[in-house]
Structure 1
């Protein structure tokens, strides 16, 4: 009986919260191949779906969006994977009815606005319509 009680208390570590798991996965993106990034983004999507509103708001900060922008600039995150990640964020934000102003003030928001303007200024045959829709 003492042995069983010892087993119960020997592992006092609690599983990390969703708000802790997400940044860990996010930080791993930087050092992953493109296909590994897609897998991690899928794991991140699953976490987003069960995240509470408070956790969601605490994770998706201006700093996180700025980090995505920096990773894109340094070519550590492809545009395709960044857009995939942001689509999941946007979908869950709407689903959970969360107002999230942190994106609006991020460098990523500024980059995307500039990309939209640049793409719109191109001649019709040069425009990447899929990119415009994604942005």
Structure 2
């Protein structure tokens, strides 16, 4: 339930990135900036769903500390920074920098998503949290 929803949200974010990357490779900065806004919003909403709802519910049972949730939060901070740098490169019309940040974003995000999909979401499904309520709360989160 949670795993399926969040995995689909990963795919939806990926779908928003692909045309942005295409616009960048063509050097169409106007289009890239137009596509960047909904992409960034979707990514921040995804992180917020995890950080404001899912992770705290999981931590009630797993505790905080240096575990997998801590690692995911650190990776979110790194990915947010790359997204911001990507936006700055697009605004500066620096194609090479933008494509470089885009490539870094893709590599980091693919690795991050794999960890969430293969480990973290499975852990969430095993914990005695109210899955339906958690899903409803995540869907209400604003980015």
TM norm. shorter chain > 0.5? no
Structure richer in helix, relative to its length: 2
TM-score, L = length of structure 1: 0.31
TM-score, L = length of structure 2: 0.30
